[in-house]
Amino acid sequence: MNRILLLIVLLVSVSLACAWTLPATAQPAAASGSVLFQDDFSRNSSGWDRMLANEGVMDYDAGGYRILVNALQTNFWSTPHQNLADVRIEVDTGKLAGPDENRIGLVCRFNGTDYYFFIISSDGFYGVGLYAGGKAALLGQAEMQSSENINKGLAVNHLRADCAGNTLTFFVNGFQVAQAQDSTLTAGDVGLLAGTFATPGVDIVFDNFVVLQP
């Protein structure tokens, strides 16, 4: 957790390129608690998407992974090119700059177009939802809800998303904030997400990404 605070002070941008390919088959089932994938972003060759565009940046930077979104009402998501079914995903994340009204979160079961998302905002709101057919919809809630468990502003938050069968459970800083049921997606990639609402310039850093068998 201390290292990501240092990243918020030291992070600088670099040039990027982007590629994505979904593996053909999922990994075999592992014992509960087994590590399926992990990354501290100390190496820039571990498979995450890399991009530099007018709309923003996605890349390894200063020992973390940075997503900068300059476009309005836009989400960027990045994946390490895995193919998994049931997962428990965890990450540390902090805001470097930009509006507190933002989206910061985790992705599971990304199939190349659709995915489940677990998001917070730096002004203290959360949501769980499904992006499918080019549209995002929250699951189990009509709009993002506030939670005192979310650290606001530039503070660091620890996010955990469990995708187990049809059950999607979201934890923030060790507290369960949401749970929903959905059977649309069964397997796919895991990843990170950051996005904007009405104000551009959302700049987010992630560190200590780990995927466990739930």
pLDDT, tens digit, for every residue of 20-60? 344 444 455 678 889 999 999 999 999 999 999 999 999 99
Query: Which domains does the chain show, CATH number per domain?
Result: 2-20+30-212 (2.60.120.560)
Q: Which two tokens stand for residue 109?
A: 């079961």
pLDDT, tens digit, for every residue of 60-111? 999 999 999 999 999 999 999 999 999 999 999 999 999 999 999 999 999 9
- The set of residues, in sequence order, having a beta carbon less than 8 Å from that of 134 and lying 6+ positions away, is none
CA-nearest of 53, 55, 49, 97 to 77 is: 49
